[in-house]
Chains A and B, each alone.
Chain A
């Protein structure tokens, strides 16, 4: 199993550009999520999905869109990049018992810089 994979590993954008961060998992996990990691702030939840066709907002959703058309994939779209979106982005997945006890499996991250 590859686990959780993310592409690209690094990306530089100009303000106003759009792009999609890719995330895929091969563990048949129902739950997938996106976090951003900023210095001194830990990880903050952007969006999450409890299954194909179902998505919801996390703590910091503004400026990001998601969709979940398959169990395996959960892309994150930046609609119009801003310097404040410079961050490291992590995708995670887990089984979804809905009890808050499940182990999350994280991808290796995408480092995004917006100029």
Chain B
């Protein structure tokens, strides 16, 4: 079946620190992979995605590479800002449907 395992938080970093949030997946077929972000009091919004192996998704300084050999889609950012404080969800989109399978979410707090 489909599942996503995500690094548990919370994660607290100082401004300008390097961020990595680990995500691994189990899936049948060839899934698409997503990172969604949830800012306080809001719904989720797409941060980036990759639809096939070796694709790199990027947005707002965040990057993630779809690694089929390690079944991973780790999120990285070279220099975090206070405004990046949010909950980050890794998700898998199953082939042939639009349903998403989510990880448990990782809360990131960036302190000045």
Contact = CB atoms under 8 A, between A and B. Distances in A.
Interface stretch (B11-19, B67-75, B88-96): B88-96
Contacts, number: 70
B95 A106 contact: no
B46 A103 contact: yes
A75 interface: no
Interface string B39-70: 00111111001010000000000000000000
A31 B98 contact: yes
Interface size class of A (residues with CB under 8 A): 20 to 34
B89 A104 contact: no
Contacts of B31: 100
B102 interface: yes
Nearest to B4: A42
B102 A100 contact: no
Given A100-B31, A100-B96, A100-B98, A40 B45 contact: no
B4 to A, nearest CB: 8
Interface in A59-115: 90, 92, 94, 96, 98-109
A42 B89 contact: yes
Interface of B: 4, 6, 31-32, 34, 36, 41-46, 49, 51, 89, 93-100, 102-105
Interface of A: 4, 31, 33, 35, 40-45, 48, 50, 58, 90, 92, 94, 96, 98-109
6 contacts: A4-B43, A42-B103, A50-B98, A90-B43, A99-B95, A106-B45
For the complex of A and B, the 7 pairs showing the least CB-CB separation, nearest first, are A100-B93, A106-B43, A42-B102, A106-B44, A43-B102, A42-B104, A101-B32
